[in-house]
Amino acid sequence: MVEKSTVPLSRMWDMGLDINLNKNSGRPGKPYSQVEWVWICVNLIIDVCNSIQMVLSNSNDEVVESGDAYNFLFRNQDMPFTQLLSETVGFYSLYRQVYWIFADKQLLSPKSIIVAGPEQCRPVIKQGELVGYELHTNSGKKVPLFLEDVWAITNFNPDSNFLGTGPLTAGRMAINSSYQATQYNEATLANGARIGTMLTTPPGVKLDADEKRALVAQFDGTHKGARQAGKTFLATGGLEVKTLGQTMAELQMIDLRKYDAGTICALFRVPPEIVSLNPEAQYTHGPATQRFVMYTIAPMLSFIAQHLTLGILHTFRFKSTKGVSIENAKSFGGSRLPISRKYSYRQAKIKAIQSNQGLFGWFDVESHPAIQEMERDKIEKVMSNVKYGVPLNQIIEVYDLPFDTSQIPWGNEHFVSPALMPARWIIEAGPDGLTEPSLPEGGDEPEDKDDKSISVPSDTDILEKADDAAKLRIWKNWVISWAGIEREYKEAMRKFFVRQQRQLLGELKKALGQNKTINKDQTDEVIARVVLDLKKENGKIKIINQTFFEKSSELGIRQVASEVGLSTETIKDFVETTKRNTAIRQALAKQAQNIKGINKTTQNTIARTLRQGLEKGESINGLTERIKNTLGTNRKRALSIARTQTAGAIGSGRHAGMKHAGVKLKIWLTSGDSNVRPSHKDAGKRYAKGIALDKPFVIDGDFLMHPGDPNASPGSIINCRCVELMGKSKGKSIDYSRVEFYSYNNLKSEVDNG
């Protein structure tokens, strides 16, 4: 048995650097502020390393969560894994040198372990050969150790094959230079840099000692002390008064404090933004944290994992190493992607195979929030740069994206293009996310059943009902003209709902705290805390709607201007004048009022499903799934909102444009497919020949000035795709079968070109 001699991290600095001690008095002297930056960096590294889970695996791509090796690392009361990792990372960060001392063994496998730094464990070298180690205990004893009792973790040192060299030496020099500069500045200020007064005599005039003392006594009597400060002094007898002081340029060494703090961060590879050294830290904190985890923490943990495999797990190689799949592992808390898709695992496995190890350790760096955020950014960049249609699974494989291709079987056949929609919609929505299906008209929420596409008449119908076929072509051309703006609106609403879901899940986690389950009598309290700030949310959704209303209504106005044949020179004035129409402003205000109910519906739905889950005694995982499932159909919900609001805004623009253009009659046109409301089909027949523009369409007791009129009841406008066309007036009518509707692409092109 070896006498246990652990040294807490709080003492490592005293052992490695004693400049904080006053040698004469034996008491702590003036502290160095730069030492604090060393501890900030080291403790930050330790904390982040401890936030990343270490996992044991075998060569079968399984997670090992039982057995002797698992018990030694994760169920060791004498040396908990957190302490083992903290002390290892701490010593290695400071010295690039740390020793694991196996104080007791059972055959080849260790039963207890001591972590020591270079001040406690020192190599014994004879004739250039390493023959053992010597442990310096806290009591002053020197305990000899055999080579097989110590596992040394050191890095490259050009002066010794047995000792590492770390940032502490360079850090000591930086701290010493900074302290010397500070001492110099303080001494300068104390000894002469402060402003002082000098009395001088004219050339050729000499004063004896008594005269000098008399002048000094007179000056001190009238000007010495704080109470005499600023008092007027009259120099007589040819005397002159001069002031002395050192300029700030001569005190520039004081700026070395911040410079040396940055140097220390660089030595420990800690981005200065993370510790708020840079003033722009609030803007670069995210990327800085990602760089820190990826380029500092990940390599260090990979290095330590390899030593854990070779130095500790290797001794358990003859023991059982049975494991389970990552999906079934109870002790694993990271993302449940296939283990082979985690880079840190693949890297550890390759090293284990190369060293013929059947049991190895690795750190799940990919599950760290900073790395997950970086992966999300990579996904968006990758998907936005895909110029041609590519099978989704190929993109995942080529760019090593964090998705399980086995769970996306359609990814081998379906293609992804940024021109269709963001890739994350497709991943969440499945193949139907690639299309824009028609939604059944009516209802507060679209149903989850399969969407029906626009029904096209059969050949017989086309021959027998040529007019219906012509109407369908007109309607299709009109819908295509504003499909782009509908997609943009839907994307905005999708992001809005995803953010709300993330916010509600965060509130749920806060409300439950550390409790895995909640008593029924706490149900109301939890529900009361998992709420949206309706005032803020309503403000945000109103801004989204206003942005797209203005685009959509202008599109409707420009369509009318194009249909009546206005010249390019007159269209601009026509559009600007029509946009100021009172009816347009009233339509926007009514839409804004209607859309606020969406947030209230979300809140009520979440409260209802949470109450059901809490009353059943569900855990946080179950409640989380409830929220996700409840808000999981946001693609359809976002499409329904975008379609309703966009069509209504375009309708408002078209109606106002017709009025400004002097149109007398209006027609109601539907698609004629199976998704059209019966009342709207009836309107298409009743108003086929047109009615006066200033008269409303009467539909099921509702009075609509145009399709999608926000003043109508929800049952008449939700998902409505009907269009108001100009009827025959003054013996003239527009042949819409020859009309190419002004489209959203035309509008964007004109805006881009100024």
pLDDT for residue 458 is more than 50 = no
**Which comes out higher in pLDDT, residue 70 or 187?**
70
pLDDT for residue 508 is more than 50 = yes
Average pLDDT in the chain: 78
**Which comes out higher in pLDDT, residue 463 or 119?**
119
Using alpha carbons, select from 691, 718, 723 the residue that is nearest to residue 706: 723
- What is the dihedral angle through the alpha carbons of 46, 49, 51, 56, rounded to the nearest 10 degrees? -140
- At 489, list the tokens: 């609106």
Q: Quick one: 685 exposed, middle or buried, by C-beta within 10 A (0-12, 13-18, 19+)?
A: exposed
Q: What's the mean pLDDT in 463-474?
A: 67
Confidence category of residue 389, pLDDT binned at 50, 70, 90:
low
Beta pairing class for 240-244 and 723-726: unpaired
Write down the pLDDT at residue 456: 34
pLDDT for residue 428 is more than 60 = no
**Which comes out higher in pLDDT, residue 243 or 686?**
686
Confidence category of residue 252, pLDDT binned at 50, 70, 90:
low
Cα dihedral 198, 202, 206, 207 sign: negative
Numbers of helices and strands, H then E, in the chain: 26, 18
Write down the pLDDT at residue 722: 93
Q: What's the mean pLDDT in 255-284?
A: 73
Write down the pLDDT at residue 731: 64
The Cα 1–Cα 535 span in angstroms is 68
Most confident of the following: 226-235, 288-297, 734-743: 288-297
The Cα 507–Cα 202 span in angstroms is 82
pLDDT for residue 248 is more than 60 = no
The Cα 276–Cα 262 span in angstroms is 11
Per-domain boundaries in the chain: 1-187+254-367, 195-244, 464-752
pLDDT for residue 264 is more than 50 = yes
Do residues 316 and 69 make contact, with C-beta atoms less than 8 angstroms apart?
Answer: yes
Write down the pLDDT at residue 21: 33
H or E stretch including 686?
helix 678-686
H or E stretch including 129?
strand 129-136
pLDDT for residue 96 is more than 50 = yes
DSSP 8-state symbol, 191:
I
**Which comes out higher in pLDDT, residue 524 or 51?**
51
**What's 195-244's CATH class?**
alpha beta
Chain segment 181-228, per-residue pLDDT in tens: 666 666 665 555 555 677 777 777 777 888 888 877 887 777 777 677
Confidence category of residue 9, pLDDT binned at 50, 70, 90:
very low
The Cα 481–Cα 483 span in angstroms is 6
Write down the pLDDT at residue 172: 65
Q: What's the mean pLDDT in 561-580?
A: 89
Across 40-44, 68-72, 713-717, least confident range: 713-717
Write down the pLDDT at residue 424: 46
For residue 190, what are the contacts with CB-CB under 8 A and spacing of at least 6? Answer: none
| Phi and psi torsions of 9, nearest 5° | -60, -30
The Cα 603–Cα 133 span in angstroms is 66
Work out the angle at residue 432's Cα, subtended by the Cα atoms of residues 429 and 433, and round it to the nearest 5 degrees: 50
pTM for this model (two decimals)? 0.47
**Which comes out higher in pLDDT, residue 251 or 269?**
269
Chain segment 291-308, per-residue pLDDT in tens: 999 999 999 999 999 999
Write down the pLDDT at residue 524: 79
Q: What's the mean pLDDT in 532-538?
A: 87
The Cα 180–Cα 354 span in angstroms is 50
Q: What's the mean pLDDT in 127-140?
A: 90
Write down the pLDDT at residue 634: 73
High-pLDDT (> 70) share of the chain, %? 75
**Which comes out higher in pLDDT, residue 238 or 562?**
562
pLDDT for residue 557 is more than 90 = yes
Q: What's the mean pLDDT in 649-653?
A: 94
- At 37, list the tokens: 């930056």
Write down the pLDDT at residue 554: 93
Across 262-276, 403-417, 658-672, least confident range: 403-417
Q: What's the mean pLDDT in 546-554?
A: 92
> End-to-end CA distance of the chain, in Å?
84
- At 670, list the tokens: 């539907």
pLDDT for residue 256 is more than 60 = no
Do residues 530 and 610 make contact, with C-beta atoms less than 8 angstroms apart?
Answer: yes
Write down the pLDDT at residue 303: 95
Count Cβ atoms below 10 Å from residue 184 Cβ, excluding itself: 13
pLDDT for residue 444 is more than 60 = no
Instruction: Give whole-number Cα distances, 326 to 36, 317, 345, 351, 365, in Å.
Output: 41, 21, 12, 20, 15
Confidence category of residue 400, pLDDT binned at 50, 70, 90:
confident
- What is the dihedral angle through the alpha carbons of 714, 495, 649, 554, rounded to the nearest 10 degrees? 180
Write down the pLDDT at residue 517: 60
pLDDT for residue 261 is more than 90 = no
Chain segment 599-634, per-residue pLDDT in tens: 888 888 888 888 888 888 888 888 888 888 777 657
Confidence category of residue 24, pLDDT binned at 50, 70, 90:
very low
Write down the pLDDT at residue 164: 85
| Residue 409 three-state SS | helix
CA 388 to mean position of chain CA atoms: 28
H or E stretch including 703?
strand 702-704
